[in-house]
Structure 1
Amino acid sequence: MKPFQFKNFNINQSKNVFRVGTDGVLLGALSSVDGSQNILEVGTGTGLISLMIAQRNAMARITALDLNADAVILAAENFKNSPFQDRISAAQHDFKTYVTDEKFDLIVSNPPYFEENPSEKDIVARQQTELSFSNLIQKSAGLLSDKGTFSVIIPFESGDHFEKMSVVNGLFPFRKIKIFGIKNSAPKRWILELRRIPQHCEEIDFIIEQSPRKYTDEYLELTKDFHVFAT
């Protein structure tokens, strides 16, 4: 499978690992990373999000977890081939049973979106067979530092439920980004950022495309340090 080329690193891909996608790019570019030194990514796949965060935050040390052994091998290869290899490590773990004495300033995840279904495509990465939203929230709440941030991208229709489960676990939204695929279309994703202390929540709209295959200025600006755009 053809590698995906970014400005400062390349992502090797595999048919056995969920591929590079817009959701990962958005989360890697929009997550609040300033001041975060100890970062955990849950479900790293190719390692894209961790690499983007490492590029954005030169102080960050990142642990990237995945349940899929193929993903861990692939992510480790992508980390080794990047300028950030000394600050990122990949490890195979089931997040539900992950044990560490560390607390994290940022936990970031592009989690499985869908309930279990008959599809055979990317089952672990796409379906909540191994990691439900509830599992993800509960475990993340226990691993965040006192001022840490939990940052996720989820389907728009899951937003209210995810937010309510987070509040039950002592995590409160402070930033919500509503993602629109195309201008004037229905919203398709939320990026939710949560912390332990309730505070005013900033809500932002973000549009990816002005029209089909024509990116908005805000998307081009957001990704200018990462994407290699055809000219």
Structure 2
Amino acid sequence: MAKKKSKKKWDFKAAKDLFYDYLEKRQEKKQINLPPETIQIDNLNRKEALNRLYNLTDSVIEKIYSSGRPSIQLPSRTSTNIIWDEENDLLLLGKQLQEKQFHSLSSVADITRLMRVLEAVNELLVKDLHATKREIFYSDVKLFGEQKNSDKSIEDIATMLYTTRNSTHIVASAKGSCIGRLRIRDKSDIIDLEGLGSGGWTISPMLDNIEILESDAE
């Protein structure tokens, strides 16, 4: 009878820290100089994202007080504003802006959806939580109508803040499962995947929060 392999304990945290250091140094070495006619999209931490969000809402409030006609400007995501950076082989956003105004029923509905998503992003960032795009849609089905409307508003908000969607703490739905002789830590929770049955552990979209504690993988 074959002996069951003993579980080995690995210092995955130290390995992960070394890997992140490597990525940071690699990023510094491969600093991309963007063409002058394009905008920069940043990965932001929670505090930076909140600061940009507050600056955005302050500008909307100022327009309400000054003109009584609030409007929102955001980079256009149309094909005419997509620029191919041949040197770095990247598709980039140009500096063309589009303005959303309160001047018709359709535009009011569009901006109302934007404000609803902005409210959700603020709550997620303040509480340091994450939500999936599907959860944002179900937070106000009557307003969004279809998920494509909430998805569009989510992308618009990220573009308005000149950041990535993940920086707004809105993530894609979890896909795939994992099962086997593996123990992980998800923030403060210890999860033993071997005891989760045939369904396994649904892979989290927030992998930065996951730490591998034990595995017998070789």
TM-score, normalized by length of structure 1? 0.23
Which structure has the bigger radius of gyration?
A: 2
Tell which has more relative contact order, 1 or 2 (C-alpha 8 A, sep 6+).
2
Relative to its length, the structure with more strand (as a share) is 1
Relative to its length, the structure with more helix (as a share) is 2
TM-score, normalized by length of structure 2? 0.24
